[in-house]
Amino acid sequence: MMRKSGSQLRIGAYASSVGVALLLAACLGIEVAHAQAIMRTPTISVPSRVPTISPNVAARVMSVDHGPRVAPTTPHISARMAPNPVLPYAHYSPNLYPACSAPYRDADGECLAQPSGGGGGAGKSAKKSTGKGRGNNTPVGVVSRTYANEFVAEIDSALSLTEADELARRHGLARIASENFPLIGATVGLFRITDGRPYETVRREFAADGSVRSLQPNFRYVLQDQKPSVPTEGDPAQYALSKLRLPQAHTLAHGANVTVAVIDSGIDAKHPELANSIADNFDALGSSEGAHVHGTGIAGAIVAHARLMGSAPEARIIAIRAFGGTGGSAESSSYIILRSLNYAAEHGAQIVNMSFAGPKDAVIERAIAASAERGLVLIAAAGNAGAKSPPLYPAANPNVIAVSATDQQDKLFTASNRGNYIALAAPGVDIFLPAPDGKYQMTSGTSFSAAYVSGVAALLLERNYTLKPEALRMTLAKTARDLGSPGRDDLYGDGEADAFAAVMAVPVDSTTPVAAAGTTKREDAGKRRDDPGIRAIAQPSLSSADDKSTISQVDRPASR
């Protein structure tokens, strides 16, 4: 018998194993060709070199009564941001102001008071609104328009506190607070029904009292941001800077000696991005709540100066806490907003950022008119209630610069309000900002668009301290980069703000600001001017072809 070689034995063993495998595959009902393909096709696993972020970031973050608490697990972001590439995200629940139904709109379609049984709340549950597109999250619901059983009333200024309490008791009310507001030259109090009587009955009787000058519901205001979204590519911290041409503008101005009042939730003054930028704090709520993600983010959009860059990194902030509450969302009221505006006007604010929205409110309209009369520049978020929403306030007030939000492709943020009251647009989708406890957040909303424009306004005031509010508004409008349909429209107003063009359009005034007397610039200001550090980006040409010419815009309307 002829002996088989070792190679022949190995070939025979391999053939036998293949035959057994094919026979087994046939027995199991698997196609032979497919089985052979499986056996012969090698599988090579090559790990991706593109960093990825887990899609369930939001699910790992929790909201609590006194601000967000972030779980230990944190996502990775672009290593270009900083030496430490691992930054936790903070999650803030979305707030969407309820749109009012037709019976509660005036002739211009604006929301008026919508009281209902039980004391001024929204009687019927409002429908949830939906949003589409990147950075637009379906809100979990809406809030009632007013605080139940509460009134804001202007009362006789001659009344003592004891007499004001007696006035309240006569009508089955409790005086929660009252004070004189120099801004509007009136004494205003907050009153609450205590005897269970119907809201309308008490309102009629109280309004008829000779000591009551005016009476209205205590309206509810909410901050205008959306749920944080997960970045998919690129450096999320940078696109707003190039869109607004901030690096070029910062060669001319940084917002030095300009004071911006931020009426918002609590601000983390110890955050590295905000170091030495908070010149004053006022808690209009009288609360003990800690820093909040929204207020901290708004301040960062204006004055961030460490790993990020705000639009006016050397401006001073008056941090006014007007929004607080439980369940992760922060709310405010007519009375607290009035108190906040009064403080801003009385303590040297030149610009007031209002990244919140509510209904048309007589006492706030009065305070805004008085603030404008004093020469304050008032800037507000257009609102995140979407295309079908009626105008929201204070943005829709003619004395206020209303700002809508755009994304990295210059598309309008789906949730952004529209209307003829929109003055400008600015980046507001997937914005990277500071959050409490040294953390950072990715978030969207017209809130942050307004904050960027507040910073740009500070650059103009540093350039020329004597610039009046209307001249500042016209400068922003005439130098804006046109978006959407040619000319002014209800989505972008006069276009996206262009910080560099606006600063260039303002004549220099070297007069020392009166408000700056006795103040000191931050110690690190000079160093940051000379050291672009990690915030350096590809800067567009100073004479970019898509720049909006100031001359060509002279005939465009600057007012709403």
The dihedral sign for the CA sequence 461, 467, 468, 473: negative
Q: Which of 322-336, 387-401, 484-498, 535-549 has the lowest mean pLDDT?
A: 535-549
The whole-angstrom separation of Cα 483 and Cα 427 is 12
The Cα angle at residue 88 between residues 82 and 90, in degrees rounded to 5: 125
Element (H, E) at 8: helix 6-27
Q: What's the number of CA atoms in the CB half-sphere (13 Å) around residue 401? A: 33
Q: Which of 200-204, 287-291, 367-371 has the lowest mean pLDDT?
A: 287-291
Range 40-48 average pLDDT = 35
Burial annotation 275-301 (CB, 10 A radius, 16+ → b, else e): ebbbbbebbbbeeebebbbbbbbbbbb
- Give SS3 for 193: strand
- The whole-number pLDDT of residue 508 equals 87
Helix pair 446-463, 293-303: axis angle to 10 deg: 30
Rounded to whole angstroms, the Cα distance separating 153 from 365 reads: 14
Mean pLDDT of 288-313: 94
Calculate the average pLDDT of the chain.
74
CA gap 218, 334 in Å, rounded: 5
b/e burial code for range 206-225 (CB count within 10 A of at least 16 → b): beeeebbeebbbbbbbbbbb
Please tell me what DSSP assigns to residue 5.
P
pLDDT-wise least confident of 103-112, 133-142, 173-182: 133-142
Residue 84 has pLDDT above 80, yes or no: no
Of 20-34, 37-51, 390-404, 450-464, give the lowest mean pLDDT range: 37-51
Tens-digit pLDDT profile for residues 492-529: 999 999 999 999 999 887 554 444 433 334 445 544 44
Cα 164 versus chain centre, distance: 38
**483 secondary structure, DSSP code:** -
Confidence label for 111 from pLDDT (cuts 50, 70 and 90):
very low
46: burial class by Cβ within 10 Å (0-12, 13-18, 19+)?
A: exposed
- pLDDT confidence of residue 367: 97
Q: How far apart are the first and last CA of the chain?
A: 106
Amino acid code (one letter) for 406: T
448, pLDDT greater than 90? yes
Mean pLDDT over residues 477-502, rounded?
A: 95
Q: State how far the alpha carbon of 192 is from the alpha carbons of 158, 212, 233, 405, in Å.
A: 21, 15, 51, 37
Give the tens place of pLDDT for each residue, 231-286. 333 344 579 999 999 999 999 999 999 999 999 999 999 999 999 999 999 999 98
Share of the chain above pLDDT 70, in %: 62
Q: What is the pLDDT of residue 255?
A: 97
Helices (H) and strands (E) in the chain, counts: 13, 17
**Predicted pLDDT at 55:** 31
Residues 358-376: tens digit of each pLDDT? 999 999 999 999 999 999 9
pLDDT on residue 552? 30
Mind listing the pLDDT tens digit for each residue in 467-476?
999 999 999 9
Contact in structure between 524 and 305 (CB atoms under 8 Å): yes
Single-letter code of the amino acid located at 38: I
Amino acid 510: pLDDT: 58
Does 213 have pLDDT greater than 60?
yes
Question: What is the pLDDT, as a whole number, of residue 223?
Answer: 86
* Residue in the structure block whose two tokens are 């000319």: 487
Radius of gyration of the chain (CA): 29
What is the predicted pLDDT for the residue at 227? 52
**Share of residues in the chain with pLDDT > 90 (%):** 58
Q: Comparing C-alpha atoms, which of 268, 263, 219 is closest to residue 447?
A: 263
Beta strand extents in 287-367 (DSSP E only): 316-321, 331-333, 351-354, 356-357
400, β-bridge pairs: 378
Looking at residue 514, what DSSP letter applies? G
pLDDT tens string 134-169:
333 333 334 578 888 999 999 999 999 999 999 999
In this prediction, residue 37 carries a pLDDT of: 33
- pLDDT of residue 537 exceeding 60: no
Question: pLDDT by residue (tens digit) across 367-423?
Answer: 999 999 999 999 999 999 998 999 999 999 999 999 999 999 999 999 999 999 999
395: CB partners within 8 A, 6+ apart? 354, 357, 380, 381, 382, 383, 402, 403, 417, 421
Q: For residue 393, what is the DSSP state?
A: B
- Rounded Cα distance between 197 and 207, Å, is 15
- Alpha-carbon dihedral 258, 413, 368, 351, rounded to 10 degrees: 0
- CA 58 to mean position of chain CA atoms: 18
Q: Work out the pLDDT band at 128, boundaries 50, 70, 90.
A: very low
Distance CA 153, CA 206 (A): 9
pLDDT of residue 511: 56
At 109 the pLDDT is: 45
Look at the alpha carbons of 377, 383, 387, 388 in this order and tell me if their dihedral is positive or negative.
negative
Instruction: Give the residue among 309, 379, 387 at the shortest CA–CA distance from 349.
Output: 379
Which residue, among 274, 356, 319, 301, has the nearest Cα to 499 in the 3D structure?
301
